[in-house]
């Protein structure tokens, strides 16, 4: 049985939810496989996605309230997250409707062409070269592993679900253990709305439990998988996906320390703003974001360090999502505390409850950091930061380049200073090789759901660095191209027939 707990008290909330049995899992996947031909050809997928969004919106307050008992993320955040979730569903509906600006890109669609997300390409016959037409086709039934820290936007009805459904792939979601009741209620709404919209039975399924998740990932009928979660869990699942008799793509979005570089000019010209921004990003959602600014590289500037200490000192912690996550946070903080060369810079106000986390910021010199890079650059999931003090950008760059892959890299620069801009150019040259997104004069938390987004990054931030899990390009994960050679129009896929 899977039991949810109230992070504010550590007490059980809601009824325990049974783990999915092997027989039930097999039946759910078989239903998804059976639904594939009909769902991939379903002519009203956009309407179905919008029906799901409408149904979730209609119960947003209730959903947020249930999720708050299981996550303690607060009503405001959770109501906003439901809106983000339904916004994602509608964004993919717009993509299917081929609405202008949703695909994005510097290319525009002429009349008589297929929607951009299908990546249709026609090379007409010429001499001995045959007529070739290529288009994206849905890959097959998909497995989605929900995240702990976004009970809606990266969970049962989240971005993976929206993009897979939009692509024409039935899917089976493995619920996160941290919010079983939220997952069940969401799934009921999603399944009901899809059925009302005429989607074939089996298009959407939900399973509970670690064993069910493993069996799902190994199931021969599953063609691809999406995952948002910890680095350890994600890498273990990626290995399972790779070791199947028929390996499948495993799109894992894992942990990340998201290095932020403050250049000397920026540190000198606006220490207070940087310190406040940093403390806010670090402690947002009790630091439980994969885009949390875990590493902050600052010049030897006493004013900035003082400002950071003040800002962090004024910050507040909160209850973490689960007892396990809280225990992990305590271990990570202890490791930093006990590390020679690392000292504490500041601490915020403790969070309440048995799993209440305290914001903690440590400091270390670049030299000490580089000497134990693997340990000190580890993710500390929660509101813990490490400030690394560098003597010069020249010294910093090779250390930065030595970091493992990240979702986000950030540079703070005084754009009015030619010297700082020159250093920024050098820092960006490195950051763009170790991160999937580079932010200038901002903070890594906050991931806009737009066409140009890339929420990805080099291993181990993601297991498939060419793909994003946020934004319209996320649909690409659920496609494979197929080329048709010398086909009579009547046998071509519908979208290719229309291409001139």
Beta bridge partners of 385: 361
Q: Which of 19, 50, 70, 253 is catalytic?
A: 253
Cβ closest to a second copy, residue 43 vs residue 110: 110
**Nearest approach, Cβ of residue 169 and a second copy (Å):** 12
**Nearest approach, Cβ of residue 135 and a second copy (Å):** 9
**Nearest approach, Cβ of residue 489 and a second copy (Å):** 10
Calculated CA dihedral for residues 377, 425, 457, 257, nearest 10 degrees: 20
Answer yes or no whether residue 453 interacts with a second copy by CB under 8 A: yes
Cβ closest to a second copy, residue 23 vs residue 491: 491
5: left (phi over 0), alpha (psi -120 to 50) or beta: beta
Burial per residue of 113-151, b for 16 or more beta-carbon CB atoms within 10 angstroms, e otherwise? bbbbbbebeeeeeeeeeeeebbbbbbbbbbbbbbbbbbb
C-beta of residue 229 within 8 angstroms of C-beta of residue 145: yes
**Which residues from 8-37 bind a second copy, rule CB under 8 A?**
37
Cβ closest to a second copy, residue 118 vs residue 312: 118
Sign, Cα dihedral of 93, 98, 101, 105 = positive
CB neighbours of 295 closer than 8 A, spacing ≥ 6? 257, 258, 259, 260, 377, 385, 386, 388, 403
**Which residues from 249-288 bind a second copy, rule CB under 8 A?**
249
Cβ closest to a second copy, residue 69 vs residue 472: 472
Cβ closest to a second copy, residue 358 vs residue 469: 469
Q: Which of 334, 375, 448, 494 binds a second copy (CB under 8 A)?
A: 448
Cβ closest to a second copy, residue 320 vs residue 411: 411
**Which span sits near a second copy by CB under 8 A: 88-96, 149-157, 164-172, 413-421?**
413-421
**Which residues from 139-158 bind a second copy, rule CB under 8 A?**
139-140
Q: How far apart are the first and last CA of the chain?
A: 56
Q: Which of 263, 384, 435, 474 binds a second copy (CB under 8 A)?
A: 435
**Nearest approach, Cβ of residue 53 and a second copy (Å):** 19
3-state class (DSSP) for residue 271 = helix
**Hey, what are 18's tokens?**
């049974």
Q: Which of 58, 236, 466, 494 binds a second copy (CB under 8 A)?
A: 466
Answer yes or no whether residue 432 interacts with a second copy by CB under 8 A: yes
Q: Which of 269, 365, 417, 441 binds a second copy (CB under 8 A)?
A: 441
Residue in 287, 226, 298, 297 with CA at minimum distance from that of residue 256: 287
**Nearest approach, Cβ of residue 284 and a second copy (Å):** 14
**Which residues from 210-249 bind a second copy, rule CB under 8 A?**
242, 246-249
**Nearest approach, Cβ of residue 104 and a second copy (Å):** 4
Site size with a second copy, rule: CB under 8 A: 78
Answer yes or no whether residue 43 interacts with a second copy by CB under 8 A: no
Distance CA 92, CA 99 (A): 10
Cβ closest to a second copy, residue 352 vs residue 476: 476
Pairing relation of β-strands 360-365 and 343-347? antiparallel
**Nearest approach, Cβ of residue 225 and a second copy (Å):** 14
Q: Which of 429, 445, 461, 474 binds a second copy (CB under 8 A)?
A: 429
Calculated CA dihedral for residues 180, 182, 186, 189, nearest 10 degrees: 110
**Which residues from 367-406 bind a second copy, rule CB under 8 A?**
404-405
3-state class (DSSP) for residue 333 = helix
**Nearest approach, Cβ of residue 79 and a second copy (Å):** 16
Distance CA 364, CA 411 (A): 19
**Which residues from 77-136 bind a second copy, rule CB under 8 A?**
104-110, 113-114, 116, 119-123, 129-130, 132-134
**Which residues from 160-219 bind a second copy, rule CB under 8 A?**
none
Cβ closest to a second copy, residue 5 vs residue 36: 36
**Nearest approach, Cβ of residue 282 and a second copy (Å):** 18
Classify residue 280 by its DSSP letter.
H
Q: Which of 230, 258, 406, 468 binds a second copy (CB under 8 A)?
A: 468
Is residue 169 annotated as a catalytic residue, yes or no? no
Distance CA 296, CA 376 (A): 12
Is residue 253 annotated as a catalytic residue, yes or no? yes
Site string for a second copy, 470-499 (x = CB under 8 A): ---x--x--xxxxxxxxxx-xx-------x
Distance CA 164, CA 476 (A): 9
**Hey, what are 61's tokens?**
């307050």
Phi then psi dihedrals of residue 332, to 5 deg: -65, -40
Cβ closest to a second copy, residue 362 vs residue 479: 479
Q: What is the DSSP code string of 372-403? A: THHHHTS--TTTEEEEEEES-HHHHHHHHHTS
Classify residue 6 by its DSSP letter.
-
Q: Which of 81, 260, 290, 379 is catalytic?
A: 290
Phi then psi dihedrals of residue 183, to 5 deg: -65, -45
Q: Enumerate the active-site residues.
A: 253, 290
């Amino acid at each position: 049985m899977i039991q949810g707990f109230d992070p504010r008290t550590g007490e059980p909330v809601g009824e325990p939810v049974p783990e999915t049995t092997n027989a039930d899992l097999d039946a759910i996947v078989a239903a998804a496989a059976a639904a594939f031909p009909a769902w991939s050809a379903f002519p009203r997928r956009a309407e179905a996605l919008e029906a799901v969004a409408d149904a979730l919106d209609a119960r947003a307050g209730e959903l947020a309230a249930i999720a708050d008992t299981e996550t303690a993320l607060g009503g405001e955040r959770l109501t906003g997250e439901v809106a983000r979730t339904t916004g994602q569903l509608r964004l993919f509906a717009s993509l299917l409707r081929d609405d202008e600006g949703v695909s994005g890109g510097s290319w525009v669609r002429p009349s008589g062409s297929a929607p951009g997300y299908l990546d249709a390409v026609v090379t007409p016959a010429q001499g001995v070269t045959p007529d070739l037409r290529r288009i994206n086709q849905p890959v097959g039934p998909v497995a989605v592993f929900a995240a702990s820290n976004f009970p809606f936007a990266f969970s049962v009805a989240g971005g993976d679900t929206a993009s897979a459904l939009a692509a024409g792939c039935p899917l089976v979601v493995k619920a996160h253990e941290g919010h079983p009741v939220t997952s069940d209620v969401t799934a009921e709404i999603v399944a009901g709305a899809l059925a009302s919209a005429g989607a074939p039975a089996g298009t959407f399924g939900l399973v509970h439990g670690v064993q069910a998740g493993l069996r799902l990932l190994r199931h021969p009928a599953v063609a691809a998988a999406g995952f948002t979660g910890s680095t350890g869990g994600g890498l273990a699942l990626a290995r399972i996906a790779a070791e199947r008799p028929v390996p499948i793509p495993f799109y894992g979005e894992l942990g990340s320390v998201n290095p932020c570089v403050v250049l000397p000019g920026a540190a000198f010209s606006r220490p207070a703003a940087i310190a406040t921004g940093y403390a806010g990003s670090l402690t947002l959602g009790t630091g439980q974001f994969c885009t949390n600014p875990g590493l902050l590289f600052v010049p030897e500037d006493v004013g900035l360090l003082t400002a950071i200490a003040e800002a962090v000192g004024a910050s507040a912690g909160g209850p973490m999502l689960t007892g396990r996550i809280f225990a992990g946070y305590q271990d990570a903080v202890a490791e930093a505390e006990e590390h020679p060369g690392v000292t504490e810079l500041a601490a915020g106000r403790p969070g309440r409850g048995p799993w209440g986390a305290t914001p903690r910021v440590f400091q270390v010199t670049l030299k000490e950091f580089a000497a134990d890079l693997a340990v000190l650059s580890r993710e500390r999931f929660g509101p813990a930061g490490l400030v690394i003090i560098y003597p010069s950008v020249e010294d910093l760059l090779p250390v930065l380049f030595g970091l493992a892959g990240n979702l986000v890299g950030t540079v703070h620069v005084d754009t009015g200073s030619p010297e700082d801009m020159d250093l920024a150019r050098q820092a960006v040259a490195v950051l763009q090789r170790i991160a999937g997104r580079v932010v200038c004069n901002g903070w890594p938390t906050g991931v806009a759901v737009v066409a140009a987004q890339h929420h990805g990054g080099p291993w181990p931030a993601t297991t498939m660095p060419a793909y994003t899990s946020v934004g319209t390009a996320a649909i690409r994960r659920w496609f494979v191209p197929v080329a048709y050679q010398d086909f009579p129009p009547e046998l071509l896929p519908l979208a290719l027939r229309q291409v001139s």
